[in-house]
Structure 1
């Protein structure tokens, strides 16, 4: 039944999942940064950076105060911070985003809310390149 001779060593890896999915469940609160390689779904609260080389999904009850960095993102909950997405950023349902967005493609349903600036393509605003964050001019600050 558990004969190791019937499978080669390479076959044992095929039983493992090909990608990792991380879930922050409803009722969970995290204070600090999250850095992972695979997809992540957030239905709880996160106060800090969320970074992955894959996809971020913020569920309807998800609430993030901090920056997001990922390949693609679906947001249904609340995000307050800078969002950097390499491919598609999709604001769905009652999503509420407050902060600047840097993405290649942006899609938004009519019920979603977005307050911030959107930069598409490889170009970043000059003040962001120099300082790593947005800087108000004297006229904007007054």
Structure 2
């Protein structure tokens, strides 16, 4: 079945290229890939990818996440967070499931599964 224009637009992939530096918050209804630097918070309704050269210093909220670069701050991932071998993550992580490849560096705390869902629901009620 063909996608409508509105569905195609909501599935758009946003790219922050290598060498680009952003200071501020980003809110996206689609997917996002960061190969540059973000200093601020990121809220993404879809998948967030942090490339090898990418870095985020701030809070990240998304449905799914793939990290190959650097993230420092609180991460709330509704479904699956994948930390690739080249990733460096520092901070508090809340996720449904987590996958960590050998070589990845993770420093902080992690809540996952049902406990994470309960924490996320508490956070949504406060917002």
1:17 matched to 2:23? The reply is no
Q: Does 1:82 align with 2:74?
A: yes
- For structure 2, list consecutive stretches of 5 or more residues without a partner in the other structure: none
Q: Return structure 1 stretches of 4+ with deviation > 2 angstroms.
A: 121-126
* Number of residue equivalences: 117
Q: Which has the higher strand share?
A: 2
Q: How far did 1:93 drift?
A: 2.2
Match status 1:34 vs 2:26: yes
Give the Cα separation in 1 of the matches to 2:55 and 2:113.
Answer: 27
Could you say what the CA RMSD is over the residues aligned between the two structures, in angstroms? 2.5
TM alignment of 1:43-54, pairs within 5 A: 43-54=35-46
- Partner in structure 2 of residue 63 of structure 1: 55
TM-score norm. by structure 2 comes to 0.84
* Candidates 93, 97, 103, aligned match of 1:111: 103
Q: CA deviation at 1:121?
A: 2.5
Shift of 1:52: 0.8
For residues 55 and 48 of structure 1, the distance between their equivalents in structure 2, rounded to whole angstroms, comes to 18
Using CA pairs under 8 Å that are at least 6 residues apart, name the structure with larger relative contact order, 1 or 2: 2
Contiguous gaps of at least 5 residues in structure 1: 1-10, 131-142
C-alpha distance in 2 between matches for 1:81 and 1:105: 18
Query: What is the TM-score when the length of structure 1 is the normalising length?
Result: 0.75
